């Protein structure tokens, strides 16, 4: 790969560096690239550094920050692909362990699974024909609707409707289950008025005797 690659995304400018090079050589390449890229930079003088498959130690990270600082560029953060892989692997492991409590045939019968790797903000609405797994939080004002199950590897504070086409066998799971409204099939449960109970353990909601039951999720040993 090229030693220095500039890319723009919603975070701004991301600088991809080949950190397998000697840092002094890499510093020279950075200076050359940024000197030639003034038009690309414009007034944006803040960047995110992506170090690829190399994790920098504190001294190396500071060295690179000093190089960018000498160019009048602020380093917002330094990330690596290894960090991303570890985060996804951890979340995937947690999801797989949690799914042990659902019969696999039942889960697959709920339809294709949509995996969302981000937090949902107020005003966002997700609908899916099948089950939804969210690796993040569902914030107040956000809404998640699935014809199958809903599983949140994070905190659920918004609205969740599982079994949206009338399936009372659907479940809702969250590491922190605090919905403003929870619905399974045609059954509805709302948060108690003027009472905030903060769960400290994962919980699961399901239908039993025509009622929405919420209880602690007990992992298999």
How far is the first Cα of the chain from the last one, in angstroms, to the nearest whole number? 46
CA distance 35 to 31: 6
Average pLDDT of the segment spanning 4-29: 84
Last residue of a domain, one of 35, 55, 79: 79
Q: What is the CATH number of the domain that holds 129?
A: 2.160.20.70
pLDDT of residue 44: 66
pTM given for the model = 0.54
Nearest one of 147, 134, 153, 135 to 184, comparing CA atoms: 147
Q: Is residue 204 part of a domain?
A: yes
**Residues 128, 147 within the same domain:** yes
**Residues 53, 103 within the same domain:** no
**Residues 65, 162 within the same domain:** no
**Residues 206, 128 within the same domain:** yes
State yes or no: pLDDT of 4 exceeds 60: yes
Cα 24 to chain centroid, rounded: 35
Radius of gyration, alpha carbons of the chain: 23
Average pLDDT of the segment spanning 156-174: 93
**Residues 103, 41 within the same domain:** no
pLDDT of residue 105: 47
Query: pLDDT digit string (tens) for 53-108?
Result: 777 778 888 999 999 898 888 898 888 765 544 444 444 455 555 555 444 445 54
């Amino acid at each position: 790969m090229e030693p220095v690659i500039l890319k723009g995304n919603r975070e701004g400018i991301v600088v991809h560096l080949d950190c397998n090079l000697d840092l002094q050589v890499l510093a020279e390449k950075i200076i050359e690239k940024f000197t030639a890229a003034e038009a690309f930079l414009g007034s944006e003088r803040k960047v995110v550094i992506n170090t690829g498959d190399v994790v920098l130690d504190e001294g190396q990270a500071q060295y690179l920050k000093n190089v960018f600082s000498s160019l009048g560029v602020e380093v917002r953060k330094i990330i690596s692909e290894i960090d991303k892989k570890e985060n996804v692997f951890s979340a995937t492991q947690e999801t797989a362990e949690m799914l042990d409590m659902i019969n696999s045939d039942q889960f697959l019968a709920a339809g294709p699974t949509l995996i969302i790797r981000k937090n949902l903000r107020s005003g966002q609405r997700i609908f899916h024909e099948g089950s939804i797994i969210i690796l993040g939080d569902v914030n107040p004002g956000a809404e998640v609707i699935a014809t199958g199950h809903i599983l949140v590897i994070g905190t659920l504070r918004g609205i969740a409707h599982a079994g949206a086409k009338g399936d009372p066998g659907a479940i809702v799971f969250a590491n922190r289950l605090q919905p403003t409204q929870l619905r399974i099939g045609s059954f509805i449960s709302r948060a108690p008025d003027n009472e905030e109970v903060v769960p400290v353990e994962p919980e699961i909601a399901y239908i039993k005797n025509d009622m929405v039951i919420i209880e602690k999720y007990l992992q298999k040993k």
